[in-house]
Amino acid sequence: MSSSLTTTLFQRLLATSSTGSPLKSLIVFKSPPSSRSLFISHPTNPFPLRCSAAASFTMGEVTADSAMDAVQRRLMFEDECILVDENDRVVGHESKYNCHLMEKIEAENLLHRAFSVFLFNSKYELLLQQRSSTKVTFPLVWTNTCCSHPLYRESELIEENALGARNAAQRKLLDELGIPAEEVPVDQFIPLGRMLYKAPSDGKWGEHELDYLLFIIRDVNVHPNPDEVAEVKYVNREELKELLRKADAGEEGMKLSPWFRLVVDNFLFKWWDHVEKGTLKDAADMKTIHKLM
């Protein structure tokens, strides 16, 4: 059995346990020394799986992954991200887990499609969220309204007018912020641009994304999901500039996500002008992929 397949089997086994430590549900049987194999049993699979002893994981790595929050672990192993090349052409799909491993990103140049939503209310204030402490990448950092991934499914692979990314944005606004779909109609998202960036989160995890930047102006009811979001706030321009100052000065532990900071530094304030003037569509440029590495 290949190293990558063995690793995937362990990931799937870990994902099936939603309570307690998944390691308690795994039984590893020693095989004869000559076979260089492990046999792994799990309550949901009564027939042991045969795995090569040369697989590219250690029990320490499995233990570390089992310490993930159960919800985040499930999403890491169940969600299949869309792999693209630097021209945004689909080249395959891969688990969210593998797409965010810096080792995989660097070794295989894994690049996946993403989206970032910037939601403004009728007072032209921008809704920000602080990511939950249980998030695997960039926990407790402040960022734009919602950031996630279109999944490898028919409705989110549609490329015409960025419909797949817009469908995914509507889905995740409900998942993360409890915003009902009818309050954020898909046709109200305005795709303004795309950017490509890479950003490590810590020694193990990171991002390498081709990010669709979606703007929408709506008054909505927000009910944050604590598994995803620690806090939310609306900010005007001056309040955002104060958050930037605090982040730059390291005050009050203020941290901003790298993708949000890239948008702020390169696009946000000039696009905010279009938000207030009602001319957002005039600012759209979906032909260019801005490489902000």
Catalytic residues: 147, 212
Q: How far is CA 111 from CA 151, 156, 257, 262, in A?
A: 13, 17, 18, 18
Question: Tokens 């260089």 map to which residue?
Answer: 36
Angle between helices 59-66 and 3-16 in degrees, nearest 10? 30
DSSP code per residue over 210-245: EEEEEEEE--------TTTEEEEEEE-HHHHHHHHH
Report the sign of the C-alpha dihedral through residues 176, 179, 185, 187, in that order. negative
Half-sphere exposure of 193 (CA within 13 A, CB side): 18
Which residues touch 149 (CB under 8 Å, ≥6 apart)? Answer: 79, 81, 82, 96, 99, 112, 113, 114, 115, 168, 209
